[in-house]
Structure 1
Amino acid sequence: MDSRRLLRMSATALAAAGLILSGCSGGSDAAASRSTAAAAPPASATPDALKKHYAQKLKWRDCGVEGFQCATLRVPLDYAKPEAGDIELAVSRARATGPGKRLGSLLVNPGGPGGSAVGYLQGYAGIGYPAPVRARYDMVAVDPRGVARSEPVECLTGPRMDAYTQTDQTPDDAAEITALTTAFKEFAAGCEQKSGKILPHVSTVETARDMDVLRAVLGDARLSYVGASYGTFLGATYAELFPARVGRLVLDGAMDPSLPSLDLNRDQTAGFETAFRAFAADCVEKKDCPLGTGSVDAAGEALKKFFRDVDAKPVPTGETRALGESLATTGVIAAMYDEGAWPQLREALTRAIGGEGSGLLALADGYYEREADGTYANLMFANAAVNCLDLPSSYTGPADVEKAVPSFEKASPVFGRGLAWAALNCAYWPTPPTGRPHRITAEGAAPILVVGTTRDPATPYRWARSLSEQLSSGTLLTYEGDGHTAYGRGSDCIDSAINAYLLEGTPPTDGKRCS
């Protein structure tokens, strides 16, 4: 299980977009976050070398999905050398339905890095966003560079990915540490072999610059945008690069760009512990709880015992892959993102503890976007590629992990050890990082709405507080509840506040809380 900075969205969005994973960029000041190659031009100027990109006309065509059009956007592979060649990005839109005056385009991104924005638009946002918003905006998505339909990063074959996801990530001895580091090295080598051309050019800064090209091509003077999870870092990065071009930005399930990778991973580990304890508190009140009907702490001990048991002896699943500790842990984590998945998790745990692991395996496969034929979407590949480019690795090798394990286990007695080791993958990445942790202020930007959920498993609430304080025009909206992200998850208070901001341009009172 590679759960390094994994983020995703609500169950409704997941049905369309699959799991969403996180990454963020991150030095001591904003300029240090950007590689020299990716530095953006002033907001008032477009370099001559980029004018053809900003002036291009999209050729819209039928997508084959009712209500949606598709097009291809051309952007430089390398913004430092735009004359060296372009890459093509997949774009989709659903036109504003009316009535009411059209407000322009609303770009949406479901998170990741690695989540398909086009898939999210066509499967959820373009039909599931509130009708008043869809009435007045063209709903637009672009798959980021390296993702899905846009020059996708590829790394491993299906069988090799199966082996990778089953690698023991709680190594107990030197041999298991060697097996884990070998898996990380093989994964990285596969990415370099299959995608070496694009691998150095999938940073969040470059994707934000692509978004500005798209904004101009769509004819919008300012960018209006809803980004969830990792998409909040992408949106904040855009605001940092182009503050004068910020329109109405909603950053839901916010990340903190000032944190180094190690702190991000440890904070997220604590977030999964918070989510598990909420699940356990609900579970132990039910007669069928597979973790017992005692205390939350006792439920945690029961889950840890289950993980140890399947580590020692994996349980059958009805197919060639047995359920070991890595896949079992991934399956449990997959259900932490939305409380609507808790009944499914109870059933899956009951069956797995009884010796039949297909339920947890199905949750893990959904998390990894593994198809029934054994192939994988490029989600995990793009996730690692962006994460490892955006931030220096948490560690240089296994010795660093062993030093960090106690702090991770303090953050989460249940998941800490595995998540500590999972963050080792970037230590072996073939492309050096171009980002550094830094505060984002986006001086001069229009009001930006930051949304945080108090018991969010993947983007801890403190990150939303921090980002809203960093942004010079940030406003914090709080959802007191469970799950990852808040918009469209059933809170009329949250939805009304965000809708009003998108439609009228007025953010809610800073510090507004909803439940």
Structure 2
Amino acid sequence: MDTSRLLRTTGIVIAAAGLLLSGCTSGGPAPHASASSGGATTGTGAGTGTTAAQPAPAAALRPYYEQKLKWRDCGVPGFQCATMKAPLDYANPGSGQDVELAVARKQATGPGKRLGSLVVNPGGPGGSGIGYLQAYAGIGYPAPVRARYDMVSVDPRGVARSSPIECLTGPRMDAYTQVDQTPDDAAEQARLVEAFKEFAKGCEERSRTVLPHVSTVEAARDLDVLREVLGDGKLTYVGASYGTLLGATYADLFPSRVGRLVLDGAMDPSRTAIDLNRDQTAGFETAFRSFARDCAKQADCPLGRGTPEQVAQRLKDFFRKLDAQPVPTGEAARPLGEALATTGVIAALYDESAWPQLREAITQAMDGDGAGLLALADSYYEREPDGKYANLMYANAAVNCLDQPPAFAGPEAVAAAVPSFEKASPVFGAGFAWASLNCTYWPAKATGKARRLEAKGAAPIVVVGTLRDPATPYRWAESLAGQLDSGVLLTYDGDGHTAYGRGSDCIDTAINRYLLEGTPPADGKKC
């Protein structure tokens, strides 16, 4: 299990495999954009108003803001793709070193007047925006929204098609995912530390140039270049999970360029790395308790009847058995041990629709067949049947480790913190605590820190929180809405990660009205 502050949206998580969890990055953005960092805003941004006069960009940035996208067929019906350039280092944009960012769109279908571009981000960090757009947002967002907006997404720098971070070969990544992350003695601690060091070394060797330049602040600056080259005066944006941090960072950097922003499954940028990890541990405990209560009512529940605490203890006992003796999965090199089993359970907690699949997978594993939980773990890691991995986990670590200093200085600090993590979650606490050690050995020094994001002067920003969200606890949404100068909190009383497009007519109607008419819901509205 690698739970290193990785978030992910649903939609793609179980069905097509997805984004991630335990990697919700939290990065402190730099100060507000200065006169030398912004772009001239010449687009109309139909429906979202035009931007007030902005300082012209520095001469070295002007070519990026003035570039023209050359749209081409993507090979996916209805979608077009293009490549956008951005400076590798915004502090030195005239150096001649660029990153190439993959962009995709699905043009507004009508009827009705086009409102501009709606940029979507699925989270991660490390989730492919283009994959999300083509598999879900471009075809699954409400029809009235798709009729009026060009649906657009970009793979952020370091992700998928955009100068991707690479770290380990498939076989080495297979080994990494099986490393015991609940070490019982000094020898097991040493093996875990070595695994983190090997992972970091692989990233440095394979991605040395781009590795120091994939922070959330840099990705937010890329969004402003994208807004300009799309011809929009202001940014209209829906960000899920980690995408809420990206959107809030953009708003804080460019508050006068905020159009209609929806931040769904919100993060709290003011929380430090250790606090984020501990909060998320508690979030998964809340989600597991919901699963446990439901499981105890089902005839096929493999964890038996009883209270959530009793169900949790049976799962914890089963994890201990797997730690001592993994079970076969049909792949000789990948038996189901505690690490992969835990990851499989966590993956299914993102969406309550996966609970029947989780019950079946646990039942099979208890009967000696770990294939079901392994498949869930593979969906979490975005591992293909041929053994190749998407770069999600690599980009996730790279962004997280730049956005904040490490949660822990070393194994001793983790061991001291384990009790507080186990208090947050008796089942998952120890694993989440030890997974937080991953940035300790990172080769690129952190450039951000935890801080409040206020976006003073921005138009209303809708922040969405789900009461029993596992990956982004509801308290984060409350906090972010309170930090943002124009934050509006919309609450969903439900399970699972994120709320928009997941079956609540109340949530969807409120967000659709905001996107189409510009009218945000009343602050504090509950669905």
Match of 1:404 among 407, 411, 417: 417
CA contact under 8 A between 2:365 and 2:372: conserved in structure 1? yes
Match of 2:361 among 348, 353, 368: 348
Q: Deviations over 1:162-216 (max 9, x none)?
A: 0000000000001000000000000000000000000000000000000100100
CA contact under 8 A between 2:126 and 2:395: conserved in structure 1? yes
- Partner in structure 2 of residue 6 of structure 1: 6
Q: Deviations over 1:355-393 (max 9, x none)?
A: 110000000001000011111000000000000000111
Secondary structure at the counterpart of residue 446 of structure 2: coil
- Partner in structure 1 of residue 18 of structure 2: 18
Q: Deviations over 1:38-79 (max 9, x none)?
A: 994485331111111000000000000000000000110111
CA contact under 8 A between 1:17 and 1:110: conserved in structure 2? no
- Partner in structure 2 of residue 53 of structure 1: 64
Tell me how far apart the structure 1 counterparts of residues 250 and 263 of structure 2 sit (CA, whole Å): 12
Percent identity for Structure 1 against Structure 2 = 72
Q: Report the AA paired with residue 176 of structure 1.
A: E
Q: Report the AA paired with residue 388 of structure 2.
A: T
Structure whose residues are more often helix by fraction: 1
Structure 1: gaps of 5 or more residues:
none
Is residue 300 from structure 1 mapped to residue 338 from structure 2 by the alignment? no
Q: Report the AA paired with residue 450 of structure 1.
A: V
Q: CA deviation at 1:13?
A: 6.2
Secondary structure at the counterpart of residue 337 of structure 1: coil
Q: CA deviation at 1:5?
A: 1.2
- Report the TM-score when normalising by structure 1: 0.97
Q: CA deviation at 1:31?
A: 4.5
Q: Report the AA paired with residue 137 of structure 1.
A: Y
Change (3 A) 1:33 1:263: farther
CA contact under 8 A between 2:466 and 2:496: conserved in structure 1? yes
Match of 1:270 among 282, 294, 307: 282
Change (3 A) 1:23 1:294: closer
Q: Deviations over 1:203-251 (max 9, x none)?
A: 0000000010010000000000000000000000000000000000000
Secondary structure at the counterpart of residue 70 of structure 1: strand
Is residue 224 from structure 1 mapped to residue 264 from structure 2 by the alignment? no
Q: CA deviation at 1:17?
A: 6.5
Is residue 128 from structure 1 mapped to residue 129 from structure 2 by the alignment? no
CA contact under 8 A between 1:8 and 1:14: conserved in structure 2? no
Q: CA deviation at 1:305?
A: 0.3
- Partner in structure 2 of residue 373 of structure 1: 386
- Partner in structure 2 of residue 511 of structure 1: 524
Match of 2:465 among 452, 457, 465: 452
- Report the TM-score when normalising by structure 2: 0.95
Is residue 184 from structure 1 mapped to residue 185 from structure 2 by the alignment? no
Tell me how far apart the structure 2 counterparts of residues 229 and 4 of structure 1 sit (CA, whole Å): 15
Q: Deviations over 1:289-320 (max 9, x none)?
A: 11011221110000000000000000011111
Tell me how far apart the structure 2 counterparts of residues 126 and 287 of structure 1 sit (CA, whole Å): 39
Tell me how far apart the structure 1 counterparts of residues 16 and 344 of structure 2 sit (CA, whole Å): 19
Tell me how far apart the structure 1 counterparts of residues 13 and 236 of structure 2 sit (CA, whole Å): 20
Change (3 A) 1:418 1:13: closer
Tell me how far apart the structure 1 counterparts of residues 109 and 67 of structure 2 sit (CA, whole Å): 25
Change (3 A) 1:31 1:124: closer
CA contact under 8 A between 1:23 and 1:386: conserved in structure 2? no
Secondary structure at the counterpart of residue 236 of structure 2: strand
Secondary structure at the counterpart of residue 48 of structure 1: coil
Q: CA deviation at 1:23?
A: 3.2
The two structures, once aligned, show a CA RMSD in angstroms of: 1.6
Match of 1:420 among 401, 423, 433: 433
Tell me how far apart the structure 1 counterparts of residues 72 and 31 of structure 2 sit (CA, whole Å): 41
Q: Report the AA paired with residue 387 of structure 1.
A: N
Q: Report the AA paired with residue 3 of structure 2.
A: S
Tell me how far apart the structure 2 counterparts of residues 312 and 459 of structure 1 sit (CA, whole Å): 32
**Pairwise mapping of residues 80-479 of structure 1 onto structure 2 (< 5 A)?**
80-84=91-95, 85-320=97-332, 321-479=334-492
- Partner in structure 2 of residue 67 of structure 1: 78
CA contact under 8 A between 2:105 and 2:152: conserved in structure 1? yes
Tell me how far apart the structure 2 counterparts of residues 132 and 193 of structure 1 sit (CA, whole Å): 47
Is residue 77 from structure 1 mapped to residue 88 from structure 2 by the alignment? yes
Tell me how far apart the structure 2 counterparts of residues 424 and 33 of structure 1 sit (CA, whole Å): 31
Q: CA deviation at 1:105?
A: 0.2
Change (3 A) 1:33 1:230: farther
Change (3 A) 1:226 1:298: same
Tell me how far apart the structure 2 counterparts of residues 16 and 308 of structure 1 sit (CA, whole Å): 30
CA contact under 8 A between 1:250 and 1:450: conserved in structure 2? yes
Structure 2: gaps of 5 or more residues:
40-53
Q: Which moved more, 1:288-297 or 1:254-263?
A: 288-297
Secondary structure at the counterpart of residue 61 of structure 2: helix
Q: CA deviation at 1:81?
A: 1.0
CA contact under 8 A between 1:121 and 1:141: conserved in structure 2? yes
Is residue 494 from structure 1 mapped to residue 470 from structure 2 by the alignment? no
Q: Report the AA paired with residue 354 of structure 2.
A: A
Tell me how far apart the structure 1 counterparts of residues 6 and 214 of structure 2 sit (CA, whole Å): 17
Tell me how far apart the structure 1 counterparts of residues 145 and 14 of structure 2 sit (CA, whole Å): 21
Change (3 A) 1:318 1:17: closer
Tell me how far apart the structure 1 counterparts of residues 107 and 240 of structure 2 sit (CA, whole Å): 22
Secondary structure at the counterpart of residue 510 of structure 1: coil
| Number of aligned positions between the proteins | 510
Secondary structure at the counterpart of residue 219 of structure 2: helix
Q: Which moved more, 1:281-290 or 1:308-317?
A: 281-290
Tell me how far apart the structure 2 counterparts of residues 316 and 69 of structure 1 sit (CA, whole Å): 44
Tell me how far apart the structure 2 counterparts of residues 12 and 349 of structure 1 sit (CA, whole Å): 22
Secondary structure at the counterpart of residue 309 of structure 1: helix
CA contact under 8 A between 1:33 and 1:434: conserved in structure 2? no
Q: CA deviation at 1:25?
A: 3.5
Tell me how far apart the structure 2 counterparts of residues 39 and 147 of structure 1 sit (CA, whole Å): 27
Secondary structure at the counterpart of residue 224 of structure 1: strand
